[in-house]
Amino acid sequence: MRILPSILSDQSEVVAHQLELLHSLSSEYEVDAVQMDILDGEYADNVTISPLDLYGFNFKDLKVDLHLMTIEPLDYVYEAKELADEVAFNMIIGQVERMSSQEDFVQEVKKQHWLPGLSLDAYTPVEELSRRALEDVRVVQIMGIQAGFQGQKFIEHTYKTIADARALLDQVNPDIELIVDGGVKPVHLSKLEELGVDTVVVGSVLWNTKDIEAAFDSLYDGMMK
């Protein structure tokens, strides 16, 4: 199971500092990507930097995934296109709840040669995923919290949603990557791995500590229990 760090902030200084921390341990802990969380203040009551604000940040060799928690994620795909020559975008994931068309979103992301993903907020059932969109989706993400803020407690109901998602993906396309994002702590990792999760996205467990290396060690230890 892969560990994917996420950054959620409206402050450029915080983003730059957290990127530097990731660069400092990228080789030892095999950190090769970062998920940038984008909030518009309407999907949830929080605002972050936008895709255009990513211009000028030093991502070095890190692949950049976007998690779009917005009322119309497709609009932010168009915004990301303007930075395609500057930022190594890899995966673009949009929340389905305020998305006008999952199919249009997936096809536009695919057109840019990025990996398209769909994300379900806490308590959104897997039935909300479009079977037609899943034909081209590369990633399905399940939120372990209600999208909007880092530092929330993992919602136990998420385990059922993960199990339902794993069953659906095994039926539709087992190669679709299953990601869990939000509230994940070391204690959750062994069960998530048992449920067939491929990647966990972590934020506060890394940033709310004075020792990011120890935080990574605890996550890897959690996977081995």
Half-sphere exposure of 58 (CA within 13 A, CB side): 11
**Alpha-carbon dihedral sign for residues 185, 188, 190, 195:** negative
pLDDT band at 201 (very low <50, low <70, confident <90, very high): very high
Cα within 13 Å of Cα(179), Cβ side: 29
Task: Give the pTM.
Answer: 0.96
Q: Are 179 and 201 in contact (CB under 8 A)?
A: yes
| pLDDT tens profile 105-121 | 999 999 999 999 999 99
What 3-state DSSP class applies to 66? strand
The predicted model gives 182-187 an average pLDDT of 96
pLDDT at 224: 75
Residue 50 CA, chain-centre distance (Å), reads 15
Number of domains making up the chain: 1
Task: Give yes or no for a contact between 43 and 69, defined as CB atoms under 8 angstroms apart.
Answer: yes
Residues 120-148 have pLDDT tens digits of 999 999 999 999 999 999 999 999 999 99
Q: What is the CATH number of the domain that holds 154?
A: 3.20.20.70
Mean pLDDT of 12-31: 91
Q: What is the mean pLDDT of residues 184-191?
A: 95
Dihedral sign for Cα atoms in the order 30, 31, 33, 39: positive
Q: Using the structure block, give the residue that is written with the tokens 């204690």.
A: 187
Residue 215 binned pLDDT confidence (cut-offs 50, 70, 90):
very high
pLDDT higher than threshold 70 for residue 50: yes
**Average pLDDT score, the chain:** 95
Triad 86, 10, 2: Cα angle to 5°:
65
Return contacts of 104-111, CB within 8 angstroms, 24+ apart.
104/74, 105/73, 105/74, 105/77, 105/133, 106/133, 106/136, 106/137, 107/136, 108/74, 108/77, 108/78, 109/77, 110/136
Give the domain extent around 143: 2-223
pLDDT at residue 159 tops 70: yes
